[in-house]
Structures are given as C-alpha cells and as structure tokens.
A and B are shown apart, each in its own frame.
Chain A
C-alpha cells in the first residue's frame, strides 16, 4: 500500500496532507464546487493520458491563475513519448480551462510502498 492508501481520512492534517490545494474551502471564500469538478476531471484526464504509468495520486496546486499538476510516473515509456504527452496535456488543458497549466513530473522505478498487509 502507498502512503496515501495506508492512512484513513481522519489522519488528514495530522499525518497526511492534501491532494488538491486551493482556496475554495477557506472561511469566506467561494468557488469550492467548481474546483471540485475541475479536480475530478483532471484526475480522470491524467489517469487516461498516462495509461498505467501513474505510480501515486495526482497532486493539484493552484497559485493565483496557475494550475500545477504534480504526478509520479513509472519508467515504462521512452522519454520522447512522455515529452509528447506532457506537451499535449499542457496545451490542451490550458486551452480548455483558459489558465496556464504546468505539469511537474517525477519518474520512479516502482510503486513507492509504505506498508505491506
């Protein structure tokens, strides 16, 4: 099991962090529902564009207008194909959401295991 799967939800903010960081859920801020819909679309999109390559959950960060997608990939595809997929996701998503989208990737040899059951 990965670190994310090993900790149940009541450990969020104690032993676990957040997967999606935005200001929609703060007291007195609006836009939480729109961010949630965007997050679910982005996660399905990433799951589909990198078939079988995602080692862990996708982390989404929003700084002002910029949307940063951080993902962990395994090294199954050659780097040239991964570069093409990165450019494809960045241009498509920035045209779709009308905001600059940046993809930050890290390749991992295998899934990062936290605990064995």
Chain B
C-alpha cells in the first residue's frame, strides 16, 4: 500500500521510452561471418606488438572469440645503388625496407559486431601501419543445389530405356 501511494503521484507511465538516435534497428536477418581476417603491416615491430595487444583486448572486451594470432615472417626489399655521382663502380650503397606482418583471425561474428569492432580498431590504427581485412561470409545453401540432379528426373530416364 505504501508502494501504491508513492507511485500514484509520480509520472512513471507518462514517460516515453528513450530511443538512442545513434542505434538503428532493422528487421532483416544479419549476415553472419565465419571468419574475419585482419592483416596488419608495418615497419616497426614494437608498434605492431602494442597494436596486437590493443586489438586482442578490444576483441575480448566485446566478447568476440579469437581463432588465432599469427606473425608471418617479415619481407625485406633490398636494392644496391652506386655510392658516387660519377664513377667508382666498385663502391656501392645498399638500402632495405622491412615490412613486418601480424595476422589476427576472429571467428563467428555478425555484421553489426564486425562493423563496430572494425570501426573502433581502424580509428585507432597508428600512423605508418596498414591494414587489410578479409571477411568470410556464411550463406544458406541455395534450393536448387540441395538435392542431386539425378534424383529429380526419373521420367526422362525411363523413356530413354524404353527407346
């Protein structure tokens, strides 16, 4: 009875439900991704290591299961140039550019989760680091493939056997 007296004067029913303008709801089924593969390339290994820690932490906080984190070997692009402007062919200078890689694979995501995670992770991409994303979609098997073709055409076979 005390609860009823307290709620009688309050405006609990008259308030409308608050809708966040940034959140959009749609009825169409979400596309599912079997695997989301993120390959990050950079010149500095320390930067890539810290970025890996950040991306793994973000995935864990959002509840995304991580399949594996692998570090493919680095590629070194070297070229040899002449040291001097005019002659002295025997004296050269060598330059190289090292690219380190880090591959992060996440499994079983929905399209909205993938969009949120990718946007967060890409906004915080450090300078001098490039990223490539590959998504593997899961789709339903189309209707016309489900049954083999030779099971659906018995009449044509019988006519051929007769003739």
Contact = CB atoms under 8 A, between A and B. Distances in A.
6 contacts: A25-B43, A26-B41, A27-B97, A61-B128, A62-B128, A64-B125
A34 interface: no
B41 A27 contact: yes
The 3 A-B residue pairs with the shortest CB-CB distance in the complex, in nearest-first order: A21-B128, A27-B99, A61-B127
Contacts of B127: 21-22, 61-63, 68
Contacts of B43: 13, 18, 25-26
A63 B130 contact: no
Interface string B90-101: 000000011100
B128 to A, nearest CB: 4
A23 B99 contact: no
Given A13-B44, A22-B127, 17 more contacts: A18-B43, A18-B128, A23-B130, A25-B43, A26-B41, A26-B99, A26-B130, A27-B97, A28-B41, A28-B99, A29-B130, A61-B128, A62-B127, A63-B126, A63-B127, A64-B125, A68-B127
Given A18-B128, A63-B125, A63-B127, A25 B97 contact: yes
A27 B128 contact: no
Interface residues of A, number: 15
B125 A27 contact: no
Interface residues of B, number: 15
A23 B100 CA distance: 12
A21, A64, A68 pick with most chain B CB within 10 angstroms = A21
Looking at B41, B44, B97, B128, the one whose CB has the most chain A CB atoms below 10 A away is B128
Interface string B68-92: 0000000101000000000000000
Contacts of B41: 23, 26-29
B134 to A, nearest CB: 14
Contacts of A25: 43, 97
A43 to B, nearest CB: 17
B56 interface: no
Contacts of A63: 125-127
Interface centre among A25, A26, A61, A63 (most CB of B within 10 A): A26
Contacts of B98: 13
